[in-house]
Amino acid sequence: MSLGAPFESAGRPFVLAHRGASAEAPENSARAFSLALAQGADGVELDVMRCGSGEIVVVHDEELSRLAGQPVELRRAPWSVLRGLDVGSWFHPRFSDTRLLLLEEALELLRPPALVNVELKGEGMGDPALPARVSEILSADPAPERFLVSSFNPALLVRFRAAQGRLPHSRRSPRGLLFEAEQSAPLRRASLAPLVGVGSLHPSVDLCRASSIAGWRARGYAVVPWTVDEPAVALALQAAGVAGFITNRPALLREALHGPAQRTTDASPGA
């Protein structure tokens, strides 16, 4: 199984900025996304949930105390309230004008050929309406094959696959299964991957021994570890055959892996 041309055409591992260039700007923000592309990342990873009024919001936390200093429940709050919250001051006072983005707004900044890993957030059975709405938004893009939809939650990925099954192949996006060491054995060994139907496995970096990577690759999966911020670790993982990286430090990783960035695309914000 492969992720498709946009993820493989460079002939080297792709670099996705985790929540944007989140070591240098507020996570999942317009600035973090713009900075990631300016630093030569191939794209970004971002998190999505559906808010109380139904819009798809780019955000990691379900409760916004950390990001906005207020105990707002994202899944209950309407977009009319969420859109006014300051989600940058927690990072640094100079980012006090940072606001949450809708997925559609983020994609306006992340134009083709930028790669975008959309992580569906949700515990248990998750929000059943989230995958279908995300599928609608992504399939309307000029290049839906540049999206990679991932989740820790197999139920959300199955729903996303079902929603995509109603589309022509040219409108579909690949899927990836996230897992980490703290999960139960079936999840952290990716045993459910065949049932979910994914092209890639996204293990936390602490699970990435060379033998594990070889095993996942032998099962036919592209391997996309997170979060890889150390150049030496990235080089070892590259040698082990990973397909791409998710990192908080795209500039550092990009330079360690491929030399200084040389922008040859028109993916910069506003282009």
Contacts of 193 (CB under 8 A, 6+ apart): 177, 201, 219, 221
> Measured at the alpha carbon of residue 178, what is the angle toward residues 173 and 184, in degrees to the nearest 5?
145
Which residue number, 73 or 266, has a Cβ lying nearer to ligand G3P? 73
Min dist CB 91 to ligand G3P, Å, is: 15
Query: Which helix (DSSP H) or strand (DSSP E) does residue 105 occupy?
Result: helix 103-109
Contacts of 241 (CB under 8 A, 6+ apart): 213, 214, 217, 223
Single residue of 8, 38, 52, 60 touching ligand G3P by CB under 6 A: 60
Any contact of residue 42 with ligand G3P (CB under 6 A)?
no
Closest to 196 (Cα-Cα) out of 131, 241, 134, 245? 131
Structure token digits, residue 24: 């240098």
Q: Tell me the backbone φ, ψ of residue 151, rounded to 5 degrees.
A: -165, 150
By CB under 6 A, the residues from 145 to 184 that bind ligand G3P are 150, 178
Which residue number, 121 or 142, has a Cβ lying nearer to Mg ion? 121
DSSP codes of every residue in 206-251: GG--HHHHHHHHHTT-EE--B----HHHHHHHHHHT-SEEEES-HH
Single residue of 103, 246, 251, 267 touching ligand G3P by CB under 6 A: 246
Of Mg ion, ligand G3P, none, which one sits near residue 55, judging by CB under 5 to 8 A according to partner kind? none
Question: Total binding residues for Mg ion by CB under 5 A?
Answer: 2
Any contact of residue 119 with ligand G3P (CB under 6 A)?
yes
Any contact of residue 119 with Mg ion (CB under 5 A)?
yes
Question: Total binding residues for ligand G3P by CB under 6 A?
Answer: 10
Any contact of residue 47 with Mg ion (CB under 5 A)?
yes
Return left, alpha or beta for 121; rule: phi > 0 is left, psi -120 to 50 is alpha, else beta: beta
Which residue number, 148 or 267, has a Cβ lying nearer to ligand G3P? 148
Q: Which stretch binds Mg ion (CB under 5 A): 7-15, 40-48, 84-92, 200-208?
A: 40-48
- Pair type for strands 43-50 and 14-18: parallel
Which residue number, 176 or 266, has a Cβ lying nearer to Mg ion? 176
Any contact of residue 14 with ligand G3P (CB under 6 A)?
no
Q: What is the CA radius of gyration of the chain?
A: 17
Of Mg ion, ligand G3P, none, which one sits near residue 178, judging by CB under 5 to 8 A according to partner kind? ligand G3P
The structure tokens 């492969």 sit at 2
Min dist CB 170 to ligand G3P, Å, is: 26
Which residue number, 59 or 82, has a Cβ lying nearer to ligand G3P? 59
Any contact of residue 45 with ligand G3P (CB under 6 A)?
yes
Closest to 270 (Cα-Cα) out of 100, 33, 46? 33
Binding site for ligand G3P (CB under 6 A): 18, 45, 47, 60, 119, 150, 178, 202, 226, 246
